[in-house]
Amino acid sequence: MLMTASCLVAACVPLALSLLIFRYRQVPGTNFYMLMALLSAFFSFSVLMQYSLPEYDAKLLWRNAAQISIFLFPIASLFLSMIHAGLERWIRPGLIVALSVVSCTALILFFTDTSHHLMRVEVQVSVSGLTVVQRTTLATLFIGYTQLVQLVGASLLLRAAWEESGRRRRQLALMAGGSLLPVLGISMNLIHPQLAGTPAGVILFSLLPACIVIFYGLYRYQLLHIVPFARDKLIESMKEGVVVLDADLRLMDYNPSAYRLLVKAGAEQRSSWTALPLPRLLPGAEAWVQAHEARAEAEIELAFADEHGVGQVWLNLTVTPLESGRGVYYGSLSVIADITETKRLEQDLRRRAATDGLTGIYNRAGFMERAQRHLALSLEEGEPFSLLVLDLDHFKRINDEHGHQCGDMALKRFVRSVQQVVERRALFGRVGGEEFAVALPGSRAEQARELAERIRRAVMDGGAGLEETGLLAEEAGAHAGLTVSIGGSTAGPAAGADFQLMFAAADRALYRAKRGGRNQVRWAEDSD
């Protein structure tokens, strides 16, 4: 009766622990602990069945079943240790398959031992009702393999504990001690095999002590406390993206917002990005890579072509290094914000600041700044640069006699007429009420003169059309129309890059055209 009770305790306690921890399954490593607890419960249940069933074949079957826990428990324990040691990036399909192949091979040999006897020399039933075996060298090697896996997991936790401090160090040390208990239990079983058939031995030599100590390490130091869940919930619900990179630039974790933002920036859509290198996910994220490798907190802005290739996506990233108390670099944490609309607003504000609200072309400040820049660039490259200054003739009379609505229409029609003539490379701006300017990078004087004449004729043709709108009445007879006076200037490669002087020269030429009767082109270099 006492033996049965011991087996039930050893089976039910880890089962209860697995149920207790199930609600915390989102905490990293919890699923592996649940697997360990279930394997521990199955091991003790197998011992109970050996003790309870009278038939030799049934006892041997459950003895073989117990090997499932013996060979799989160390693998689950190793993966749990790797997660808490910060090595979860190494838990890959290849490692899982490699460890599982050895364990599965051993299990197959144990279950088929009656046909080849490669694992056991002899099997007997002890007085306690449990089976006692004499292992072969091969079986001993396989058992040694499980202990080696268990020792590796414990050593990883001890190494991580050495690099940490405070509560985290104590937690890792306690978990490492729990990982060593199965090794200690098997060693004691080899030294005192007679204890295995006692009620105390059923508990002490089972996997239960390891499960209890590891659970205590998880619970005692609040790894399963509400704080991680509150943190996870906060991160999952954040509008900003959160990305965790390991030291080798592999994505270890990210929230839904990060997935949405990075896909918007052109990242490949797939079921999981875990362990995917950042340069492969986002080839254009060199600045992010540099910030990660600098191992210092940084704030950067990145621009990407959007997922449709028709616009730009702007992301702001705050990159924070993740280091242990001893300075070991684990990776980085990046918080990502979508600033695309902010950038568009900034660009729109800059455009509005440089654009005339009525006509949509550059205003005086926008035109002057860009024209000065183009002048300097043209002279640097040895190209000529020409400038036209235009003034609508008798425009004040249009406003006075026909109203500002008609005047605004005249300005818009004038701008359209000029835009139909000038090349795309030209800069066109409104520099005064009815005064405009056209900068012509790369144009010589004769080319600019020809263009000015074309503009003058186009404005006359466009102005005549105003009568058709009904907004402009008779002006100077039946054939009234809008006309423009133009002054021009050209700077050669040897000239200075002072745009203000060039503008003043063209402006003087304009007023000569005005004094000469309007509706004509004059050049600064012409003599009066």
Q: Are residues 329 and 397 in the same domain?
A: no
Q: Is residue 381 part of a domain?
A: yes
Query: From CA 143, how far away is CA 301, in angstroms rounded?
Result: 55
Q: Is residue 332 domain-shared with residue 456, that is, in the same domain?
A: no
Whether 385 maps to a domain, the answer reads yes
Residues 91 and 217 in one domain: yes
- Residue 493: the pLDDT is 62
Within this chain, do residues 362 and 334 fall inside the same structural domain, yes or no?
A: no
Are 179 and 249 in a shared domain?
A: no
**265 within domain boundaries:** yes
As a whole number of angstroms, the distance between CA 425 and CA 319 comes to 41
E strand or H helix that includes residue 56: helix 56-84
* DSSP states along 349-407: HHHHHTB-TTTSSB-HHHHHHHHHHHHHHHHHTT--EEEEEEEETTHHHHHHHH-HHHH
Question: Considering 226, 257, 282, which residue would you say is the last residue of a domain?
Answer: 226
Beta-carbon neighbour count of residue 208 at 10 Å? Answer: 25
Distance CA 108, CA 102 (A): 10
Are 336 and 415 contained in the same domain? no
The answer on 243 and 149 residing in a single domain is no
- What's the CATH number where 490 sits? 3.30.70.270
Residue 16 lies in a domain: yes
Contact 482, 414 (CB under 8 A): yes
CATH of the domain at 327: 3.30.450.20
For residue 64, being part of any structural domain is answered with yes
Query: What CATH number is given to the structural domain containing 78?
Result: 1.20.1070
Low-confidence ranges of the chain (pLDDT < 70): 1, 24-27, 193-197, 220-233, 307-310, 324-326, 462-480, 492-497, 527-528
- Among 297, 314, 341, the domain-final residue is 341
Q: Specify whether 309 is located in the same domain as 330.
A: yes
Q: Please tell me whether residues 303 and 442 are part of one structural domain.
A: no
Residues 222 and 246 in one domain: no
pLDDT, position 494: 58
Q: What is the span of the domain harbouring residue 380?
A: 354-523
Where is the domain boundary, 226, 261, 288?
A: 226
Looking at residue 230, its pLDDT comes to 57
Q: Quick check: is 375 in a domain?
A: yes
The CB density around residue 184, as the number of other CB atoms within 10 Å, is: 16
Q: What per-residue confidence (pLDDT) applies to 448?
A: 93
**Alpha-carbon distances of 336 from 238, 259, 340, 453, 511, rounded to whole Å:** 10, 10, 12, 55, 57
pLDDT of residue 466: 46
Bridge partners, 476 (sequence order): none
Amino acid identity, position 505? A
Q: Is residue 231 part of a domain?
A: no
How many domains in the chain?
Answer: 3
Model pLDDT for residues 287-326, shown as the tens digit of each residue? 999 999 999 999 999 988 876 666 788 999 999 998 866 6
Residues 512-521: tens digit of each pLDDT:
999 988 999 9
The residue among 321, 519, 356, 330 whose CA lies nearest residue 431 is 356
168 and 310 belong to one structural domain: no
Report yes or no: 359 and 415 within 8 Å, Cβ to Cβ: yes
Distances (CA, A) of 448 to 388, 451, 484, 521: 8, 5, 16, 11
- Does 45 share its domain with 114? yes
Q: Please tell me the predicted confidence (pLDDT) of residue 473.
A: 46
Residue 462 lies in a domain: yes
Q: CB of 311 within 8 A of CB of 299?
A: no
pLDDT, position 166: 72
Q: Which long-range contacts (C-beta less than 8 Å, at least 24 apart) are formed by 112-120?
A: 113/64, 114/60
Q: Each residue of 421-476: pLDDT tens digit?
A: 998 889 999 998 899 999 999 899 999 999 999 999 998 886 544 444 444 444 43
